[in-house]
Amino acid sequence: MKLTLKETAKAVNALNDVSKYENIEITGAEFDSRKVKKGDLFIPLKGARDGHEFLEKARENGAVLSLWSKDVPTPDDFPVLIVEDVLSAFQVLAQYYLQKKKPTVIAITGSNGKTTTKDMTAFVLATTFKTYKTQGNYNNEIGMPYTILSMPEDTEKLVLEMGMDHAGDLHLLSTLATPDIAAITLIGESHLEFFGTREAIAKGKMEIADGLKENGLLIVPSDEPLLKSFLENISQEIATFGWDNSADEYVTVLAEKREETIFQFSFSEKIMEIAVPGKYNARNALVASMIARRLGVSMEDIAQALAAVELTRNRTEWVESSVGAKMLSDVYNANPTAMGLVLDSFSQMETTGKRRVVLGDMLELGEASKVLHESMSEHLDSYNIEKVYLFGKEMKVLFDKIVENFPKGAVVHFDKEDKQALIELLKNDLQKEDLLLLKASNGMGLFEVVEALK
């Protein structure tokens, strides 16, 4: 990134005179003072600590300029841009840089699958274009402007993951990024505690279209009736995806294996594969491919990229335990729709050993938590799953629901405080030929269980 102080000051509507510093050029932006590099603009955000307190550290690490809140005493010996609100100025600067560089912007959201779809989309587009994507889970009002200001100057396609915790979140992100293409992967139950109903979640997800360019494309699932009433108000082009010809484009799964899924798209005779399990991931690949085709990527390049795609860690990731058992780690987030999908796929995976599952609490489900945790019983049976390890207070209702349907001792429950006991039992139970699925919300810390078993 290269921005002069003068254009930066103009972009953020700086309140102070910075003429004496006009020769300064910034080559990056950073809000973590420990990560500041030479030439960076420091963004002192307010969190548990006020970022303004860390100016000296940022300066030591090479910052050449800082945004600065008008309510904080101004340093005498360091150039700052005084603004009404640092976070808003950060976002406005990102918007300015985006409009200056003009990459094609692809925005992706969904209750499940948005990170995987983002990764697949970026990987496929990178076969043909200079592509940059949201790193990790930097998908909120801080992470997205950070992503934009971190993209290389020659970026042609920018793939942005957009997260949502509350109503209005996606409106802000979409109107900031003004995407050319927007996609909704799934309407699930994530953050039901804050939204109350799935209908409200659907409405929140549709905010991704609020900033969609007039000639833009919105991609949505065909099998989600909650979206239909909102789509009536969309003037831009809409394309649907799904499992059958009721969708504009659909995917047919030909084989589900432990470490790959083989499928075919409606728009190509080519047999496709991805090195991750689960038919739901074939749907994610369909969305990525629809975006890529729209932008001119060949089917040959799409197929080769999907076969080699590298996904963000802890999202349907196979790892091996110390005794040789294969573990399917999907511990970054969880909602009932996502947990049901991965359980269904895992239950059919071939193995000469036993299938075991560790399920932790799904958080932020509000008053529906009991019913939704109990509903996982529909995806668990003793014929396909040898043993079920339930972890957390919310999972106690699932224990009570299924314990009589399994042999004695085949369903066990642990409180969150008993993580070490869970680890020890798993170490005792796991055999070399076994398959183990671990799925929970990130807040349950099941990644620690994965690491202990490795």
Annotated binding site: 110-116
β-pairing, 249-256 vs 261-265, is antiparallel
In terms of DSSP bridges, do strands 40-42 and 28-30 run parallel, antiparallel, or are they unpaired? parallel
Q: Mark residue 420 as left, alpha or beta (left: phi above 0; alpha: psi -120 to 50; beta: remaining).
A: alpha
> Encoding tokens for residue 260?
């790959």
Per-position DSSP letters for 217-264, written without gaps between them: EEEEETT-GGGHHHHTT--SEEEEEESSTTSSEEEEEEEE-SS-EEEE
- Euclidean distance between CA atoms 197 and 376, whole angstroms: 19
Q: Residue 54 contacts by C-beta under 8 Å, 6 or more apart in sequence?
A: 33, 44
For the residues of 51-117, what is the DSSP string, one character each?
A: GGGGHHHHHHTT--EEEEETTSPPPSSS-EEEES-HHHHHHHHHHHHHHHH--EEEEEE-SSSHHHH
What are 107's strand-pairing partners? 160, 182
Name the residue among 120, 177, 191 with its Cα closest to residue 149: 177
Binding residues for ATP: 110-116
- Beta-carbon neighbour count of residue 156 at 10 Å? 17
CA distances for 135 relative to 263, 312, 328, angstroms: 28, 9, 22
- Kindly write down the DSSP assignment for every residue of 307-338, as one continuous string: HH--PPTTSSEEEE-TTS-EEEEE-S---HHH
